[in-house]
């Protein structure tokens, strides 16, 4: 089963050499750290690529990657795990960890499903950047649809438990794919996104969802970010920090209607404490 790319040539280059060149130009040789998870944006690389690269380049490469994508298409099961096969990109094919995928769907809270993935770009856009920095890894793509906090907690528990049962928790990095506020004036987007990001950094999923609801934040990846936050809470001893934030206005200079992009890293508390000299 081969999942072919759908936004190559539009969101990112279809040519492998050009793709590597573009990603390489955005990189800055940052020091690598032990990172457990991250939030990444998924727009065209011209807009959000620098934020995604700046976030990923800090991560020590892992053998296994779980990417929680949003559901723009409305297709497929609410929490859809791509079960087996390979995902194709201009940088080569990435193999699905079919044993872990099978373990994640074993109890039926998440379901094996390809329909939610066929035309969904939120996971696809992240993979070439991960390939550039991680080289080789196994992939578990999961599309997450909007739901309630209780459902996000259940999904997070199933993913976290499956990683523990398979003994791969420490060698896995979990990513949530999301853009922030969509098509609002720059200052309004900055204000809304700041409040949402503050709750992500606190790992407070309830307040994160409340801020989105109260402020009518048009963030497209609410579900994957909420699930990621709950996985990080289950992992324990994790702190979050903002790696980068920008808007589309900084690229096209149209500040009347922007999309926000955030890169957020989740790392062990001890790592952060050493950096602070404590």
Question: Which of 268 and 44 is assigned the larger pLDDT?
Answer: 44
Confidence (pLDDT) at 268: 86
For 252-265, the pLDDT digits (tens) are 999 999 999 999 99
| CA dist 132 → 87, 129, 152, 255 (Å) | 15, 5, 30, 31
Q: Does domain 2-275 have CATH number 1.10.10.10?
A: no
Confidence (pLDDT) at 269: 79
| CA dist 53 → 42, 45, 58, 197 (Å) | 11, 9, 9, 19
Burial label, 255 (beta-carbon count in 10 A; 0-12, 13-18, 19+)? middle
Confidence (pLDDT) at 274: 44
Exposure string of 9-42, with b = 16+ CB inside 10 Å and e = fewer, is eebbbeeeeebbebbeebeeeeeeeebbbbbbbb
Under the banding of pLDDT at 50, 70 and 90, the label for residue 29 is confident
Helix axes 16-26, 127-134, angle to 10 degrees: 80
Under the banding of pLDDT at 50, 70 and 90, the label for residue 83 is very high
Q: What is the mean pLDDT of residues 142-158?
A: 98
- Could you list the beta-strand ranges (E) of the chain: 2-3, 35-40, 64-70, 79-81, 86-89, 92-95, 111-112, 138-144, 172-177, 182-184, 238-247, 258-268
Among 267, 272, 277, which Cα is nearest to 236's?
267
Backbone angles phi, psi at 128, to 5 degrees: -60, -35
The share of the chain scoring above pLDDT 70, in percent, equals 97
- Which residues touch 248 (CB under 8 Å, ≥6 apart)? 43, 47, 48, 254, 258, 259, 261
Question: Which pair of structure tokens corresponds to residue 8?
Answer: 């190559």
For the CA atoms of the chain, what is the radius of gyration?
17
Domain ranges of the chain: 2-275
What is the pLDDT of the chain when averaged over all its residues?
96
Under the banding of pLDDT at 50, 70 and 90, the label for residue 271 is very low
- The pTM (predicted TM-score) of the whole model is 0.95
Q: Is the pLDDT of residue 186 over 50?
A: yes
The share of the chain scoring above pLDDT 90, in percent, equals 95
Q: Is the pLDDT of residue 32 over 70?
A: yes
Confidence (pLDDT) at 278: 39
First-to-last C-alpha distance (Å) of the chain: 50
Confidence (pLDDT) at 270: 63
Q: Is the pLDDT of residue 64 over 50?
A: yes
């Amino acid at each position: 089963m081969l999942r072919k790319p759908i936004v190559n040539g539009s969101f990112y280059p279809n040519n492998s050499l050009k793709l590597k060149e573009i990603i390489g130009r955005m990189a800055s040789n940052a020091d690598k750290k032990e990172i457990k998870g991250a939030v990444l944006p998924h727009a065209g690389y011209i807009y959000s690529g620098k934020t995604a690269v700046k976030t990923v380049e800090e991560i020590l490469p892992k053998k296994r990657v779980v990417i929680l994508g949003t559901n723009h298409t409305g297709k497929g099961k609410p929490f859809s795990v791509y079960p087996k096969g390979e995902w194709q990109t201009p940088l080569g094919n990435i193999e699905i960890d079919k044993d872990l995928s099978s373990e994640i769907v074993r109890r039926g809270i998440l379901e094996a499903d390809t329909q939610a993935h066929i035309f969904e770009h939120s996971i696809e856009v992240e993979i070439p950047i991960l390939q550039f920095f991680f080289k080789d890894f196994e992939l578990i793509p999961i599309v997450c649809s909007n739901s309630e906090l209780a459902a996000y907690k259940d999904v997070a528990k199933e993913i976290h438990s499956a990683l523990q049962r398979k003994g791969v928790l420490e060698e896995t990095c979990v990513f949530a794919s999301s853009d922030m506020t969509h098509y609002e004036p720059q200052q309004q987007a900055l204000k809304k996104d700041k409040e949402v990001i503050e709750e992500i950094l606190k790992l407070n999923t309830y307040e994160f969802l409340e801020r989105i609801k109260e402020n009518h934040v048009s963030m497209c990846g609410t579900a994957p970010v909420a699930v990621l936050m709950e996985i990080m809470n289950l992992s324990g001893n994790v702190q979050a920090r903002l790696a980068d934030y920008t808007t589309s206005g900084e690229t096209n200079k149209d500040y009347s209607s922007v999309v926000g992009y955030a890169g957020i890293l989740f790392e062990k508390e001890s790592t952060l404490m050493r950096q602070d000299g404590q």
